[in-house]
A and B are shown apart, each in its own frame.
Chain A
Amino acid sequence: MISGIFHQTYEKDMALRRTHTQKIRLVLIFIFFLAFPFFANRYALTLANQIGIAVIGAIGLNILVGYTGQISLGQGGFMAVGAYTAGILTARLGMPWWASTLAACFVTALVGVLFGLPSLRLKGLYLAIATLAAQVIILWVVTHWKVMTGGVDALVVPSPMLFGIKMNKDFNFYWVVWSLALIATIAAVNLFRTHWGRAFIAIRDQDIAASVMGVDLFKYKLLAFAISSFYVGLAGALIAHYRSIVTWERFTVDISVLYLAMIIIGGLGSVTGSYLGAIFMTLLPAVLTNLGSAIKDQFPAIDTLLPFIQQAAFGLVIIFFLIFEPEGLNKIWKNIKDYFRLWPFSY
Chain B
Amino acid sequence: MSLFIQLTLTGLTNGAILALAALGFVLIYKSSDVINFAQGEFLLIGAYVIFAMVGQFGLAWPIGMLLTILIAIALGVLVERLVLRPMIGEPIISVIMVTIGLSSVLKAIVSAIWGNVPQAFPPFIPTTPVNLLGATVGADRLWAIAISVLMLGLFSFFFRKSREGIAMRAVADDQTAALSMGISVKKIFAWAWSIAAATAAIGGALVANIVGVSGELAGVGLRVFPVVILGGLDSIPGAIIGGVIIGLLEAYTGGYIGQGLNQVLPFVVLIIILMVRPYGLFGKEIIERV
**What's the minimum C-beta distance from B155 to chain A, rounded to whole angstroms?**
24
A192 at interface by CB-CB < 8 Å:
no
- Is the CB–CB distance between A322 and B222 below 8 Å? no
Chain B 274-290 residues near chain A, CB threshold 8 A: 274-275, 278, 287-290
- Complex-state Cα separation, A71 to B107, whole angstroms: 24
B111 at interface by CB-CB < 8 Å:
yes
- Complex-state Cα separation, A314 to B106, whole angstroms: 11
Q: How large is the interface on A (under 10, 10 to 19, 20 to 34, 35 or more residues)?
A: 35 or more
- Assuming the contacts A316-B105, A322-B90, asked whether A132 and B225 have C-beta atoms less than 8 A apart, the reply is yes
Chain A 294-347 residues near chain B, CB threshold 8 A: 305, 307-312, 314-319, 322-323, 326
A244 at interface by CB-CB < 8 Å:
no
- Assuming the contacts A315-B104, A319-B102, asked whether A122 and B290 have C-beta atoms less than 8 A apart, the reply is yes
B3 at interface by CB-CB < 8 Å:
no
Chain A interface mostly: helix
Please tell me which stretch of A27-35, A135-143, A175-183, A271-279 contacts chain B, meaning at least 4 of its Cβ atoms lie within 8 angstroms of it.
A135-143
- What total count of A-B pairs have CB within 8 Å? 133
Residues of A contacting B83 in the complex (Cβ-Cβ under 8 angstroms): 319, 323
B92 at interface by CB-CB < 8 Å:
yes
A128 at interface by CB-CB < 8 Å:
yes
A257 at interface by CB-CB < 8 Å:
yes
Residues of B contacting A315 in the complex (Cβ-Cβ under 8 angstroms): 100-106, 108
- Is the CB–CB distance between A140 and B260 below 8 Å? yes
- Complex-state Cα separation, A312 to B290, whole angstroms: 37
B56 at interface by CB-CB < 8 Å:
no
A124 at interface by CB-CB < 8 Å:
yes
- Assuming the contacts A129-B225, A136-B264, A318-B97, asked whether A323 and B274 have C-beta atoms less than 8 A apart, the reply is no
- Is the CB–CB distance between B260 and A318 below 8 Å? no
Residues of A contacting B275 in the complex (Cβ-Cβ under 8 angstroms): 118, 121
- Assuming the contacts A122-B274, A315-B103, asked whether A261 and B97 have C-beta atoms less than 8 A apart, the reply is yes
Residues of A contacting B150 in the complex (Cβ-Cβ under 8 angstroms): none
Residues of A contacting B131 in the complex (Cβ-Cβ under 8 angstroms): none
B128 at interface by CB-CB < 8 Å:
no
Please tell me which stretch of B47-55, B65-73, B240-248, B265-273 contacts chain A, meaning at least 4 of its Cβ atoms lie within 8 angstroms of it.
B265-273
- Complex-state Cα separation, A309 to B111, whole angstroms: 10
Chain A 58-117 residues near chain B, CB threshold 8 A: 65, 71
**What's the minimum C-beta distance from B65 to chain A, rounded to whole angstroms?**
27
Closest A residue to B104 by beta carbon equals A315
Q: Contact flags (1/0) for A211-228 with B, using CB distance below 8 Å?
A: 000000100000000000
**What's the minimum C-beta distance from A299 to chain B, rounded to whole angstroms?**
13
Residues of B contacting A314 in the complex (Cβ-Cβ under 8 angstroms): 101, 104
Residues of A contacting B106 in the complex (Cβ-Cβ under 8 angstroms): 315
Closest A residue to B228 by beta carbon equals A129
**What's the minimum C-beta distance from B279 to chain A, rounded to whole angstroms?**
9
Interface positions of A (Cβ within 8 A of B)? 65, 71, 118-126, 128-130, 132-134, 136-137, 140, 143-144, 207, 217, 253, 257, 260-261, 264, 268, 305, 307-312, 314-319, 322-323, 326
- The 7 closest A-B CB pairs, nearest first, are A315-B104, A318-B101, A315-B105, A312-B108, A311-B108, A308-B112, A140-B264
9 A-B interface contacts by CB (under 8 A): A121-B278, A125-B92, A128-B92, A144-B260, A253-B222, A307-B111, A312-B105, A319-B105, A322-B98
Interface positions of B (Cβ within 8 A of A)? 35, 83, 86-87, 90, 92-94, 96-98, 100-109, 111-112, 222, 225-226, 229, 259-260, 263-264, 267-268, 270-271, 274-275, 278, 287-290
12 additional contacts (CB under 8 A) given A65-B93, A133-B267: A121-B274, A122-B278, A122-B290, A123-B290, A126-B287, A128-B35, A128-B92, A140-B264, A143-B260, A312-B104, A315-B104, A323-B86
